[in-house]
Structure 1
Amino acid sequence: MKKFGLLIIGGIAAIVLLANLAPMLALAISLVILYYAYKGFMKTDSKGMKIFWVIAGIIALCASASNLPAVIGAAAAYILYVVYKKWNNKEVTAEKESADPFTNFERQWAEMKKNN
């Protein structure tokens, strides 16, 4: 039953991620422009170029800050990652516990220490 729930959540997250790929690309481009505006501002000594880089930076900052669908897409990508990790983690953990001969020994040893 847990696998079915993970499948449903992963499917919804994948659809949301695919629907928001274009806004995520626009966010990445605006952040790159903002980075280069900052670097250009720091490198130049001219007052006119500093004003130009500040204006370019403010425009890029406004474009990236107003891009809410990209943030939703990033959250969907993270949810998809968590679902993937949980999907594979359950199988590996069950196999690891049964294959480890010291699991019961360590548990019993901890119980004996508590009793003494």
Structure 2
Amino acid sequence: MELMFEFARILLFCFAGELCHTLLPLPIPASVYGLLLLLAALRLGAVKLAQVRRAALFLTGVFPLLFVPAAAGVMELWAQLQAMLLPAVLALVPVTVLVMAVSGRVTQYFVRRKERDHV
């Protein structure tokens, strides 16, 4: 039953994100609003990590399954996508490398900061 309440807390932030997306004239997806609101609530202590931990771990565990329908759609439209293959690869490779590099640097920064704070 507790897992249902954890999901409900996460869904509440998803709905709040939808509300922000509807009310604010910014080109930010509702899911990003929801994540930012949940992050703010966690950082401010309005929501404790223990109140959403199990549901969040479950959701991140099944997250790769959410890409299956998109991959199936790509395979279905392969004939149309072949014409765009070279431009797509030329765009995706540098962006992927950039995302990996930035993610690695940010992770290193936080690991070093955590080690420095604990010493």
TM over 0.5: no
Q: Mark the structure with the bigger radius of gyration.
A: 1
Please report the TM-score for the alignment, with normalisation by the length of structure 1.
0.31
Please report the TM-score for the alignment, with normalisation by the length of structure 2.
0.30
